[in-house]
């Protein structure tokens, strides 16, 4: 299986627990194995935008808490690929729109809305990336998971 993603989120030092909305990513991807539930081992290859390749070694479900600006929401992602050496976690625009949501990009940020216009997720632009607004709950959970593993 060959998938692709954009260059800003490629291999290197991890930026956690950040999720970025990525219009060039063909599937949701997570670089933190402990975030993935119902983990199934997988051995597949990922094509990166800079022509490099890396391994997808698993798949499963991920649940994240996001801050929409007016409330915290739980977002449940299915079929999330585990790619340990990505710098950040990726939310695929293609997969989000396949589920009936709309992704709106603006200069300073992005939103994910349902068919009624309700915002389910917000992202802030940081450089060339759109960082999902995470609730403090998600950041704390990831830090606690990391401490329990170390």
The position carrying tokens 């929401």 is: 73
What is the pLDDT, as a whole number, of residue 16? 54
Residues of the chain with pLDDT under 70: 1-17, 137-150
The dotted CATH code for 19-147 is 2.40.70
Nearest to 16 by CA among 96, 99, 131, 116: 131
What is the pLDDT, as a whole number, of residue 96? 96
Model-wide pTM > 0.85: no
Please spell the DSSP secondary structure of 72-119, one letter per residue.
Answer: EEEEEEEEEEE-TTBSSEEEEHHHHHHTT-EEEE-SSEEEEE-TT--E
What is the pLDDT, as a whole number, of residue 49? 77
Nearest to 22 by CA among 87, 81, 94: 94
Q: What is the rounded CA–CA span in Å between residue 37 and residue 57?
A: 14
> Hey, where are the domains in the chain?
19-147
What is the pLDDT, as a whole number, of residue 105? 97
Q: What is the rounded CA–CA span in Å between residue 106 and residue 42?
A: 36
């Amino acid at each position: 299986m060959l998938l692709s993603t954009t260059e800003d989120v490629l291999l290197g030092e991890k930026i956690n627990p950040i999720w970025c909305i990525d219009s060039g990513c063909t599937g949701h991807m997570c670089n933190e194995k402990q975030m993935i539930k119902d983990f199934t081992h997988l051995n597949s290859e990922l094509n990166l935008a800079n022509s490099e390749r890396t391994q997808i070694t698993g798949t499963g479900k991920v649940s994240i808490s996001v801050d929409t600006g007016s409330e915290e929401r739980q977002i449940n992602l299915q079929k999330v690929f585990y790619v340990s050496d990505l710098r950040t976690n990726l939310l695929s625009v293609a997969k989000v729109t396949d589920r009936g949501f709309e992704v709106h990009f603006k200069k300073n940020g992005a939103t994910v809305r349902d068919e009624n216009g309700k915002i389910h997720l917000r992202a802030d632009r940081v450089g060339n990336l759109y960082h999902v607004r995470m609730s403090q709950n998600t950041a704390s959970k990831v830090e606690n998971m990391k401490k329990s593993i170390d």
